Amino acid sequence: MNYKAMKSYTVYAFVLLVGLSLLAGCRQRYTITQEEAQDTPVFSFDQAAFPEAKPWTSENFRNDPDNFQFAIIGDRTGGANVLGTFELAMHQLNLLQPEFVINVGDIIEGYAEDRAELTEMWEEAEDMTGMLQMPFFYTRGNHDVSFPGGKEEWLERHGPNYYHFVYKDVLFLVLDSEDSPRPEPPPEIKEATKVYKRLQVEDPEAARKMLAEFMSSEAIVAALGQPVEFPDKQMAWIKKTLAENADVRWTFLFMHEPCWENPSESFKAIEQLLQEKDYTLFAGHLHYYDYDHINGRDYITMGPAGASWHHEGPGNVDHIMWVTMTEDGPQMGNIALKGLFDRKGLDPSLFGAYDRKGAETGDSKGEEKK
């Protein structure tokens, strides 16, 4: 090896050695920083400055690492409004920063036999949910899987029609209330939806009248009153999943249709499987917020997040539900979308989406059910 080559090799070896030394030092300093961070108190103050009285009420901070927060959102479609309320809700959820969001079904309008049209609907919806900075969990609604093509589209995009996951020792069961055959929609529903959407812009009063007539039709009333049956395959999966997760600290169940309103035998069997567990049920479909206390448990029907209002009364509210899971069970609070805006203040151009006008009177439904 000549002198020039040896010199180059020596310089290279020296640079490599220095680099490795610096890297090792960085790793050591990072480890020390982590350890120091673990020993640093979450809350500190100058104790000499506050020997007795203090200008705060408590040092018992609600920061249990086992607690977590998530949000629930209701129907977007079934006569989706043209004001962009659901899209607004996505931005609002980003302001709140839940750990994840879960919906209760009906995120596309559906009732289209053309797969290309269905694909376009899903792309529109997923563009909205894609705005979120956290995971979004889907539940199948009747509008999402209307007609055979809708079920195929769901399978390709989202996989199983019912599923579960466990998060911080809490079981989330997402059921499929559309698994058994449901009543066929009126044949005119597709065209009626287009007309309704147009009337929302051109003649809102005519749109409200059209919706009222549609919801009072015999076919719709009969469909809403039909009990939801869960097929044997889904029932076996529910039983197996509950047994495999018997020791979780809480169980949340999500479905599109509030099956407890007119319970089928299969739904009663699900309740029997749950009777020794701590659980809460959520659904949507009716576009009206409703709370029931059944068997000592909370059964909640979410109001909409942009879908048409189907009933008069105080349940006509676009909202999300904020859930904080604690060691004592879930704490749940509803947040009206019109009460949530960013640090810049209300945007006048979004007043319609913020504050849809609904009935201001009506009795809430909260009596105990047996």
Rounded Cα gap, residues 108 and 283, in angstroms: 17
Strands of the sheet with 101-103, listed across from one edge = 136-137, 101-103, 68-73, 319-326, 329-336
| CA-derived radius of gyration, the chain | 27
* Segment 147-155 mean pLDDT: 88
Name the residue among 286, 313, 316, 311 with its Cα closest to residue 300: 286
List of residues 6+ apart from 107 with CB closer than 8 A: 75, 76, 77, 125, 129, 138, 141, 143, 144
Q: What is the pLDDT of residue 37?
A: 58
Q: Are strands 319-326 and 297-301 parallel, antiparallel or unpaired?
A: unpaired
User: Does residue 13 have a pLDDT over 80?
Assistant: no
Per the prediction, the chain carries an average pLDDT of: 85
List of residues 6+ apart from 156 with CB closer than 8 A: none
Neighbours of 201 (CB within 10 A): 10
Rounded Cα gap, residues 329 and 331, in angstroms: 7
**Which single residue is written with the structure tokens 């249709």?**
257
Higher-confidence residue of 215 and 154: namely 154
User: Does residue 138 have a pLDDT over 80?
Assistant: yes
User: Does residue 144 have a pLDDT over 80?
Assistant: yes
User: Does residue 363 have a pLDDT over 60?
Assistant: no
How many percent of the chain have pLDDT more than 70?
84
Q: Give the tens place of pLDDT for each residue, 192-242.
A: 888 888 888 788 888 888 888 877 887 777 777 789 999 999 999 999 999
**Which single residue is written with the structure tokens 């169940």?**
253
What is the band of 191 on the pLDDT scale with cuts at 50, 70, 90? confident
Rounded Cα gap, residues 314 and 196, in angstroms: 23
Q: Give the tens place of pLDDT for each residue, 27-50.
A: 444 454 566 656 788 999 999 999
What is the band of 176 on the pLDDT scale with cuts at 50, 70, 90? very high
